[in-house]
Structure 1
């Protein structure tokens, strides 16, 4: 059942908190105080009448805004409410590879900042969040090739947040990524995924390793855990039309399929460089069409549920965060030989294009007759 929109919508200058879904007046420091960690514990910062602007700005470096929510305080990046939010949710079953994929995506995006500078200016939204992400994810995985631990259970919160200034929109956006344990989605625990009710874009992650059994195709491909998110998105859209936000479906760990597909579909796409950034998006429709056909052919229809349910822009991609598989799962490391992310940036740039942050790409038409999958991109 679709819930009708409220009769008195919130004023435009209010922001919705992605943690508690309350409307926030970002100009009200009484409602949303500045808070900073100190050795003695959190300190609420207030400006004295005689305090200079320079001292106040210096003293508030690293501070956060505290939302009291429904009784459980939580913190938001200090500039979040001054920007146009773009909330991105990662959806997928436990061990699908969401954590490694997002880590490689963010690292690759930051490495390619100069190549994207004509359309996007990319900066971290919160310095402490960036430092934690680097220490807990990027350095262990991409520098030491360690297997990252699964996402910890607990309150959903930003894993990473960016300030993205878009030439296309003429505005700056707070791009926040949420990655929560897969059981939150497979168990329909809606209270633990409030951010999905305001998500502006979605990355659906399917585990490529589930497509095979040993050296053969899996005759019974498991559910990727997308249903909960799709149901929540459809039932909480303010427009009431059930239209879902733009999304990408990413077949993570696609490196395990190299050589297994008889027509080299995966090998051909995964082997293309992830360096051409926006120019490389021109073949988006062809890749999505090939991936759609490939997944259908190998019994992964459940992985296409976002596409079949969306009535919204969506693309499909092959990607690998590591480029290689573990030789010995008990060692918790990836082999150094041939290690490296493959095609991880492309899905994120596709999402940015569909969300309007970069110009819509004039995609190449696929060869051969048009079919259902050809409506994927726009």
Structure 2
């Protein structure tokens, strides 16, 4: 978790400070970030990773140019893996996406990051947001943003990989904390959560915030409400989080629970239609209505048998509830594309801004206890 703000009022954006010990979010081993022998600076070449070292008489400008696009290589578990070059110099903030397969995690995160980059100048003067790593940003754009938001294609299911790594990372300078933060996002296949494959989700043990994604489509079968709403995949994550956080505060990290694909519910319930129709996510000041959305979403989910989805909200940790749609419309059956008409991300930034508030990047929002909604 991020330390509480150390001052009030405007603050400068201080540069990175050397950090002696850093926990690798990929292997969970301590590494000495200040030791370039232990965590070397590397750059990919056609012949493989090249370790970069600075010659004694090398000009500063040439060294900085040569290290553009470089990474830091961790050997914490014996298997080399790379982290953004500045990660250990900044205050880390890990955000994990949790949910079942096909819940809409990948589409939601893609729309969320795209909207954040497009609207970041409108959000708030308290934050300065930039990509943490250029190569990671370019890969995210080519593999996710371009096919989904430019070509309206349905993205393939998240691939299983040998190691869970950041799918995207931001450099967020917060005037409120007076610090610069490395905000990293993890998105892994939903199968890991249903199969309790804890070895494939190490990032959850370090997570500072969780984005819980529940599939709104599961609330209906045809035109009828589903009488048994399945487990959205949260149980695995909650078990791991509670077990690994016992040495901390024993509570779950702050969360935002998103009813994804809410566009498929808007025609069946006036509550969903009301919230999807609101334009209140472009500035941080509009988060003042988050308490109203919490109450409405809680009542909606309880009314339609989705009590399993509310487990994070009943955990005792700050958790907000949201209606959102990455596309605004369902895909065309069997074509693998979304229709042009009415295609647009809807209220996808609000959950992320709520997490920024809950983790202290911006002033916190007070919300009622779950019992107040019963």
Same-fold status (TM-score > 0.5): yes
**Displacement of 1:95 after TM fit?**
0.3
Question: What residue in structure 1 maps to residue 142 of structure 2?
Answer: 135
Supply the distance in 1 between the matched residues of 2:139 and 2:282 (Cα, whole angstroms). 29
**Displacement of 1:50 after TM fit?**
1.6
Question: What residue in structure 2 maps to residue 80 of structure 1?
Answer: 87
Q: Per the alignment, do residues 17 and 198 of structure 1 end up closer, same or farther by CA in structure 2, a change over 3 Å counting?
A: same
Q: Secondary structure at the match of 1:222?
A: coil
The 8 Å contact of residues 159 and 178 in structure 1, kept in 2 or not, is answered as yes
**Displacement of 1:361 after TM fit?**
3.8
**Displacement of 1:238 after TM fit?**
5.3
The 8 Å contact of residues 87 and 195 in structure 1, kept in 2 or not, is answered as yes
Higher alpha-carbon deviation: 110-119 or 124-133: 110-119
The 8 Å contact of residues 288 and 373 in structure 1, kept in 2 or not, is answered as no
Question: What residue in structure 2 maps to residue 28 of structure 1?
Answer: 35
1:301 matched to 2:307? The reply is: yes
Q: Secondary structure at the match of 1:163?
A: strand
Supply the distance in 2 between the matched residues of 1:74 and 1:233 (Cα, whole angstroms). 24
**Displacement of 1:37 after TM fit?**
0.8
Supply the distance in 1 between the matched residues of 2:43 and 2:311 (Cα, whole angstroms). 43
Supply the distance in 2 between the matched residues of 1:38 and 1:117 (Cα, whole angstroms). 39
**Displacement of 1:175 after TM fit?**
0.1
Supply the distance in 1 between the matched residues of 2:53 and 2:167 (Cα, whole angstroms). 28
Question: What residue in structure 2 maps to residue 9 of structure 1?
Answer: none
The 8 Å contact of residues 186 and 228 in structure 1, kept in 2 or not, is answered as yes
Q: RMSD across aligned C-alpha pairs, in angstroms? A: 1.7
Supply the distance in 1 between the matched residues of 2:331 and 2:309 (Cα, whole angstroms). 24
1:341 matched to 2:345? The reply is: yes
Pick from 30, 51, 61: which aligns with 2:68? Answer: 61
Gaps of 5+ in 2: 1-18
Pick from 326, 334, 340: which aligns with 1:321? Answer: 326
The 8 Å contact of residues 324 and 346 in structure 2, kept in 1 or not, is answered as yes
Q: Per the alignment, do residues 276 and 63 of structure 1 end up closer, same or farther by CA in structure 2, a change over 3 Å counting?
A: closer
Supply the distance in 2 between the matched residues of 1:228 and 1:354 (Cα, whole angstroms). 22
Supply the distance in 1 between the matched residues of 2:138 and 2:358 (Cα, whole angstroms). 29
**Displacement of 1:251 after TM fit?**
0.3
**Displacement of 1:327 after TM fit?**
2.3
The 8 Å contact of residues 115 and 277 in structure 1, kept in 2 or not, is answered as yes
Pick from 275, 281, 284: which aligns with 1:278? Answer: 284
1:332 matched to 2:325? The reply is: no
The 8 Å contact of residues 98 and 179 in structure 1, kept in 2 or not, is answered as yes
Q: Which 4+ stretches in 1 moved above 4 angstroms?
A: none
Supply the distance in 1 between the matched residues of 2:352 and 2:79 (Cα, whole angstroms). 32
The 8 Å contact of residues 248 and 350 in structure 1, kept in 2 or not, is answered as yes
1:51 matched to 2:54? The reply is: no
Supply the distance in 2 between the matched residues of 1:276 and 1:45 (Cα, whole angstroms). 42
1:170 matched to 2:197? The reply is: no
> What per-residue deviation string (whole Å, max 9, x for no partner) do you get for residues 113-157 of structure 1?
111240100000000000000111011111110000111001111
Supply the distance in 1 between the matched residues of 2:120 and 2:248 (Cα, whole angstroms). 37
**Displacement of 1:46 after TM fit?**
1.0
1:184 matched to 2:192? The reply is: yes
**Displacement of 1:240 after TM fit?**
4.6
Give matches, 1:191-210, under 5 Å.
Answer: 191-210=199-218
**Displacement of 1:239 after TM fit?**
3.4
**Displacement of 1:52 after TM fit?**
1.3
1:213 matched to 2:221? The reply is: yes
Question: What residue in structure 2 maps to residue 355 of structure 1?
Answer: 359
Supply the distance in 2 between the matched residues of 1:208 and 1:19 (Cα, whole angstroms). 31
The 8 Å contact of residues 248 and 351 in structure 1, kept in 2 or not, is answered as yes
Supply the distance in 1 between the matched residues of 2:259 and 2:107 (Cα, whole angstroms). 13
Aligned length: 356
The 8 Å contact of residues 43 and 67 in structure 2, kept in 1 or not, is answered as yes
